[in-house]
Amino acid sequence: MAEISFPLPDLGEGLLEATVLEWLVKVGDQVERNQPFVEVETTKSSVELPSPIAGIVLTLHGEPGDVVLVDTPLITFVVADDSAGIVGTVPQEAAPKRRVRLSAVLDED
């Protein structure tokens, strides 16, 4: 198993921070990719953020009302080793390699 943290993304328009309104998941929850996990508010609007990966929630960085800075950790997931890339990056979704049998299969007929 491996841990992957995701920072608060740049929400655009030069915003540097956001306030946590409500966590939509709790520690120990299995979260699917693209499932919204938190509701945050900026000076301009409020939004739900979707999870970039599937995993189990290990840590929520901040309570409702806390200010989180862009590029600082927002959530940490535990993921299976084979789906973990370098910590802090989104793993590549490479197609599995296919083995091709080179020897001929003899026809029993």
Partner 1 sequence: MKTDLASALHWQQHEPALDAGLAPVLLLHGFASSTALNWDATGWVRDLTAAGRRVLTIDLLGHGESHAPLETDAYAPSRLRAAILEALALAGARPREAGDPASGVDLVGYSLGSRLVWELTAERPDLINRAVLGGMSGEDPLADFDLDAADRFLADASAIAHESTASLMTLMQLAPGANTPALLRLVAAIKQERFEPGASVPSRPLLFVTGDRDVLATGTTQLAALAADTETLWLPARSHTNAVSSRVFKQAAIEFLGR
Under DSSP, the state recorded for 87 is T
Q: E-assigned strands of 13-83?
A: 17-23, 30-31, 36-41, 46-50, 55-60, 67-69, 73-79
According to the binding rule CB under 8 A, does residue 44 interact with partner 1? yes
Write out the binding residues for partner 1, residues 6-25 only, by CB under 8 A.
12-13, 21-22, 24
Distance CA 14, CA 96 (A): 39
CA distance 85 to 2: 9
Rounded Cα distance, 24 and 55, in Å: 14
The verdict on 66 binding partner 1 (CB under 8 A) reads: no
Shorter beta-carbon distance to partner 1: residue 39 or 61: 39
Task: Check residue 26 for interaction with partner 1 (CB under 8 A).
Answer: no
Q: Which is nearer to partner 1, 47 or 56 (CB)?
A: 47
Q: Which is nearer to partner 1, 18 or 84 (CB)?
A: 18
Smallest separation, CB 34 to partner 1 (Å) = 9
| Positions in the binding site for partner 1 (CB under 8 A) | 12-13, 21-22, 24, 36, 39, 41, 43-48
